[in-house]
Amino acid sequence: MSKKIVLILFSLLLICGCHKKNNNSDINTIIEENKNILVGINYPITTYKKIDTLIENDVEKIYNSFKEKYENFNSLTNKSELNIDYTYNIVNDNFLAITLNVFIDSSKLDKPTNYIKSYVYSIKDNKILTLEDLVDLKNLKKITKYINSSIIRTYGECIDINKFNEKMKPDFNNFSLFSFDEDNLYLYFNEGEISYEYCGLIEVIVPLNKFKSVINIKGKPKDNTKISIPVSKVIDTSKKVVALTYDDGPSKYTNELLDVLKDNDAVATFFVIGNKVNIYSDTLVKAINNGNEIGNHSYNHKWLTKLTTEDFKKQISQTQDVIYDNTGYTPINFRPTYGSINSNIRKNINLNVVLWNVDTMDWKYKSVDRIVSRATKKTNDLDIILMHDTRKRTVEATKKIIPELKKQGFQFVTVSELQEIKKIRNKYE
């Protein structure tokens, strides 16, 4: 029985003419897993050498020291995890403000470590800035007063009063961790700096409008235009289908991958990391416009089964929000990081959980042909193939995988289409 089903997908896209971002920016991603460790690292590449080198060196140091300590530490209970997340504010034509949030958990430690590193850069001056470059002493006194009462109000009994009093003196050296955007100045104090260790990291938000002359930043309004693009497509549900999926992007390789898919008249599903979406919003819009599907792969690639329910839900909702804000599209599928899932996640997720049947191991194998062979040799009807759009070799492999699978009679569908086809077949068989 042969049935041709036309799947018509209407998607309302918010094509942002969002104010000009630094379009040359990239996010570097390192995702690794072996029997003892899990590594999930994302950090921005601004293309300004001075700040990029500084950040890369810091990340490398953290990564190497983590590996040295934990790669050969075989815990019976849990793997050790390193996660580096970031914030990246392109404040205006001149200022870039970046923070790295470093998280390390291991059964070697009493409790997870969590700390911030911050970098503020002036493009005009080619200089890494301290708070002193942005605020004069008079204003620092005002700010100190403000954060003093703000910290006491929010953190109260957590504060180690001796350390706190010392740190609240209006001395620029006391405020080395900071960041800002168009609206706020953010000051950070790492664990134990002004509070007792168990209180964790302290962040103070200082609204800039309270301190008008502190930092002169003028924001440009966002310009959003809504357009609606219908996508129609014919799939023969009696014939073999396969879903290509790409995790851990978007990245600087995704754009080319989209062209490869389009040139081969194929589509795929991209399980994206939320914290990379802002930088690659144009790529994501293009992916959707070309008929591809976007799925949720958490906000910063943390090991989700170890999070509290509340933190897990936040990982999902933040990612849903940032995808919607940038594209007008709402994902319905979710892929757990490291393929790791438990009943708590299943209970607390309102998206379809999507794993895979074919693992290309493209993050590990350097040979394109080996990746192609893993993707094409044992693939069956309705299979989902796992790849990662974070490396050039995966783009090269895709160029060969699609024609080979087509030769075997496969049609390329998104994960949602694949699920739809399963339902249709069940109905008629």
Task: Provide the binding-site residues for Zn ion, judged by CB under 5 A.
Answer: 247-248
Residue 63: CB minimum distance to Zn ion, A = 17
CA distance 230 to 10: 5
Residue environment code for 205-229, b if the CB has 16+ CB neighbours within 10 A, otherwise e: ebebeebeebbebeeeeeeeeeeee
Which SS3 state, helix, strand or coil, does residue 364 take?
Answer: coil
Assigned token pair, 245: 């999926």
Matching residue, tokens 């060196």: 57
Specify the residue, 249 or 328, whose C-beta has the smaller distance to Zn ion: 249
Residue 297: CB minimum distance to Zn ion, A = 6
Residue whose beta carbon is closest to Zn ion? 247
Residue 295: CB minimum distance to Zn ion, A = 11
In 64-112 the beta strands, taken as DSSP E runs, fall at 80-90, 95-105
Which of 181, 362, 388, 389 is catalytic? The answer is 388
Residue 386: CB minimum distance to Zn ion, A = 9
From residue 8, alpha-carbon distances to 232, 271, 291, 327, 329 in Å are: 4, 22, 10, 19, 16
Alpha carbon dihedral 32, 33, 36, 42, in 10-degree steps, equals 40
Active-site annotation holds for 388: yes
Specify the residue, 83 or 237, whose C-beta has the smaller distance to Zn ion: 83
Residue 185: CB minimum distance to Zn ion, A = 34
CA distance 356 to 23: 33
DSSP line for 165-214 = HHHTSS-GGG---EEE-SSEEEEEE-TTTSB-GGG--EEEEEEGGGSTTT
From residue 315, alpha-carbon distances to 40, 302, 307, 347 in Å are: 14, 9, 10, 15
Active-site annotation holds for 297: no
From residue 56, alpha-carbon distances to 28, 100, 119, 129, 406 in Å are: 10, 11, 12, 17, 41
Specify the residue, 44 or 295, whose C-beta has the smaller distance to Zn ion: 295
Specify the residue, 105 or 248, whose C-beta has the smaller distance to Zn ion: 248
Name residue 204's amino acid. Answer: V
Residue 274: CB minimum distance to Zn ion, A = 12
Specify the residue, 41 or 421, whose C-beta has the smaller distance to Zn ion: 41
CA distance 142 to 112: 35
Residue 408: CB minimum distance to Zn ion, A = 27
CA distance 178 to 188: 6
Which of 26, 247, 248, 383 is catalytic? The answer is 247
Q: C-alpha 423: how far from its chain's center?
A: 32
> Which residue, 114, 79, 81, 80, is CA-closest to 100?
114
Q: Which residues are catalytic?
A: 247, 388
